[in-house]
Amino acid sequence: MEVVKSQNSKILKYILIIFAGSLLLTISAKIKIPFYPVPMTMQTFVVLFLGMSFGYKIGLATVSLYLLEGLLGMPVFSNSPEKGVGIIYFTGPTMGYLIGFLFATSLAGYFNFNGNIIINFFKLLVSVSIIYFMGILWLGSLIGWDKPIIQLGATPFLLAELLKISILALLAKKIIKLKKFI
């Protein structure tokens, strides 16, 4: 009986973390921070943070819930509902980036961040690069490869990404301590 109770409380804890993470992702998509050359959201920061702090399974479940909420029409994505909701928004120019969130949080959750800051920075750089790789692939297939895809879909955001992953790399040892709560 005690084992079942312990297992149920663990499942409840996972569910609460996943829902709280989804809410955090939604908030991170809505807040725009003035930055150069374009305003920055904290979505990629939260995507990587979720993987680092709770591991790839909970990170993946959290991002999956967030994407499902968006697909179902909840205005969780950046620029929604202004630019549409649901499948219409999801299949727009940002779909590749959104799908990239799944892979990035999984990879960040898989990596061991006990190394030094430089190694952690490069692990995060690889993780966030997946988002941009998938985003550029989708954007190119959507608007055509004759357009300057990298200049449109990556270049304006790179400085902000470097700042965000630098912060995560500096805080990595503290962030991974959250894993002991699950």
Predicted confidence band of residue 1 (pLDDT cuts 50, 70, 90): low
Q: What is the pLDDT of residues 23-51, one digit of tens each?
A: 999 999 999 998 888 889 999 999 999 99
Q: Does domain 2-181 fall into CATH 1.10.1760.20?
A: yes
Burial annotation 77-115 (CB, 10 A radius, 16+ → b, else e):
bbebeeebbbeebbebebbbbbbbbbbbbbbbbebebee
Predicted confidence band of residue 156 (pLDDT cuts 50, 70, 90): very high
Q: What is the mean pLDDT of residues 127-147?
A: 96
Report the candidate in 177, 35, 168, 16 with the shortest Cα–Cα distance to residue 105: 168
Q: What is the mean pLDDT of residues 6-17?
A: 91
Note the pLDDT of residue 13: 93
pLDDT score of 122 more than 80: yes
For the chain, the structural domain boundaries read 2-181
Q: Which long-range contacts (CB under 8 A, 24 or more apart) does 75-82 make?
A: 76/22, 76/25, 76/26, 76/29, 77/29, 78/29, 78/30, 78/41, 78/43
Predicted confidence band of residue 114 (pLDDT cuts 50, 70, 90): confident
The pTM for the full model equals: 0.93
